[in-house]
Amino acid sequence: EAGASVAAASEEMVAAVGHVSARVSEQVSASETARASAEETRRALAELAASAEDIASVATLIQDIAANTNLLA
């Protein structure tokens, strides 16, 4: 009877460890997905910042042209 109790407890322990292992795997997967999403967001923001710099350069050029045009008028 004691052997059966030990066997049952061992089976429960194995099942519990399997459940914990599955949950850890799910969390690792979720973390990897979050990391990838954060990296994609970082890249998109870097591209947006570069575009904003390009727009600022064009705006400065337009202002310079406008100032020169006013000098000629």
For the chain, strand residue ranges (E) read none
> 30-68: per-residue pLDDT in tens?
999 999 999 999 999 999 999 999 999 999 999 999 999
Distance from C-alpha of 64 to C-alpha of 52, rounded to nearest angstrom: 18
| pLDDT surpasses 90 at 70 | no
The pTM for the full model equals 0.61
* pLDDT of 25 above 80: yes
Task: Read off the tokens for 31.
Answer: 């973390």
pLDDT reading at 9 higher than 80: yes
The confidence band for 73, taking pLDDT boundaries of 50, 70 and 90, is low
pLDDT of 3 reads: 84
Nearest-Å Rg of the Cα atoms of the chain is 31
